[in-house]
């Protein structure tokens, strides 16, 4: 299928490049990976053209800003990354758009930076790499807490989606992974940490206060669609501390959109499609951590109709991000 839209697609600036190194194992070598993730031009466009991807929304690599302990530095790197991305998008606005990197160490600064990126640069949302560290290495701040209520009000007023992207748990809080470091990142830990964060959002009451929020998660929903029935079933018996006014699953189905990034499995796709429906499932690749060719070849052969491929591969993204594309 031509004209696919992808939006868990990563770029880097020199200041955040080393953060990507440990996750680049699927690439041929570090040198070629650096070229791909730093490039917002010929290399990326060639891959897109070869795989029927007409448009890409770009975001800063992980964990980057979310792992910067000093708030002032986090604000500075966010602005630098966003300024660079805006410059590059302006060169090819018919092929690229941007997600804002946000200094979530300071909710007010994050709201201000998102507003700047949306209003001044035309960015179509934000992508934040999981929980945020601040001041000390042993810190993990999640965004369902009351401190972020004003931030979510700004997101809601701007009416742009918020992409919650994975990151690796910090060593001080990674005891269950001891002796098994391979579990920490994309094989398991990414989904564990992101699904926990997403479920905290669903169970915190934040969607009752901010009913227009739109959250995106990748990798076929970070295991949540597979477990959603059981989560709601057991919540009937053990809802201690739950502050939502509706069943947790309703919040997830009403507020979350899920991409196919980095999870090119027919059985998983069928589960997501059945649980979410075609309106909330969207194509993405996760380049350059995954190959665009793997994502595109799998999706183009997926066991769904051509109409559903067009909806999931393109139309849903146009609607969600209000893209001015034919």
**Region for residue 5 given its phi and psi (left: phi exceeds 0; alpha: psi -120 to 50; beta: otherwise):** beta
Domains assigned to the chain: 4-321 (3.20.20.140)
Predicted pLDDT at 142: 98
Q: C-alpha distances in angstroms, 46 versus 24, 35, 286, 292, 323? A: 20, 13, 16, 11, 22
The whole-number average pLDDT for the span 74-87 is 98
Per-residue pLDDT tens over the stretch 257-289:
999 999 999 999 999 999 999 999 999 999 999
Contacts of 59 (CB under 8 A, 6+ apart): 7, 8, 9, 10, 11, 98, 99, 101, 127, 163, 165
Active centre residues (catalytic): 286
Contacts of 247 (CB under 8 A, 6+ apart): 232, 235
> Confidence band (pLDDT; 50, 70, 90) for 244?
confident
- Which 3 state secondary structure label does DSSP give 238? coil
Per-residue pLDDT tens over the stretch 108-127:
999 999 999 999 999 999 99
Instruction: Tell me which of 31 and 39 has the higher pLDDT.
Output: 39
pLDDT at 27 > cutoff 90 = no
The whole-number average pLDDT for the span 85-100 is 98
Best CA proximity match to 20, nearest among 57, 60, 56: 60
Are 52 and 300 in contact by the 8 Å Cβ rule? The answer is: yes
Tokens standing for 270? 């069928």
Q: How many CB atoms lie within 10 A of CB 205?
A: 16
> Confidence band (pLDDT; 50, 70, 90) for 238?
confident
Global confidence as pTM: 0.96
The whole-number average pLDDT for the span 14-20 is 95
Per-residue pLDDT tens over the stretch 297-307:
999 999 999 99
């Amino acid at each position: 299928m031509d004209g696919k839209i992808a939006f868990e697609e990563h770029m880097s600036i020199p200041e955040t490049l080393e953060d990507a190194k440990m996750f680049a194992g699927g690439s041929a070598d570090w040198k070629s990976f650096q070229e791909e993730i730093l490039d917002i031009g010929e290399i990326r466009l060639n891959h897109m053209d070869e795989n029927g991807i007409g448009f890409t929304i770009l975001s800063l690599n992980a964990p980057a800003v979310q792992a910067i302990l000093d708030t002032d530095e986090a604000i500075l790197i966010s602005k630098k990354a966003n300024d660079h991305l805006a410059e590059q998008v302006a060169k090819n606005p018919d092929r690229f758009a941007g997600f804002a990197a946000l200094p979530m160490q300071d909710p007010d600064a994050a709201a201000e930076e998102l507003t700047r990126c949306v209003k001044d640069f035309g960015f179509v949302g934000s992508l934040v790499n999981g929980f945020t560290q601040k001041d000390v290495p042993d810190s993990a701040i999640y965004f369902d807490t009351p401190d972020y209520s004003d931030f979510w009000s700004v997101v809601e007023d701007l009416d742009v989606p918020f992409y919650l992207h994975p990151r690796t748990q910090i060593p001080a809080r990674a005891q269950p992974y001891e002796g098994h470091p391979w579990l920490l990142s994309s094989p398991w830990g990414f989904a564990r940490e992101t699904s926990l964060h997403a479920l905290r959002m669903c169970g915190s009451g934040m969607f009752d206060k901010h009913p227009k929020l739109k959250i995106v998660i990748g990798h076929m929903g970070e295991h949540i669609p597979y477990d959603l029935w059981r989560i709601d079933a057991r919540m009937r018996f053990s809802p201690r501390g739950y502050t939502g006014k509706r069943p947790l699953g309703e919040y997830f189905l009403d507020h979350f959109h899920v991409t196919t990034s980095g999870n090119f499995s027919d059985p998983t796709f069928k589960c997501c499609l059945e649980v979410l429906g075609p309106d909330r499932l969207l194509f993405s690749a996760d380049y350059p951590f995954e190959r665009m060719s793997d994502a595109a070849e799998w999706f183009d052969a997926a066991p769904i109709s051509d109409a559903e491929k067009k909806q999931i591969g393109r139309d849903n993204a146009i609607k969600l991000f209000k893209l001015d594309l034919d």
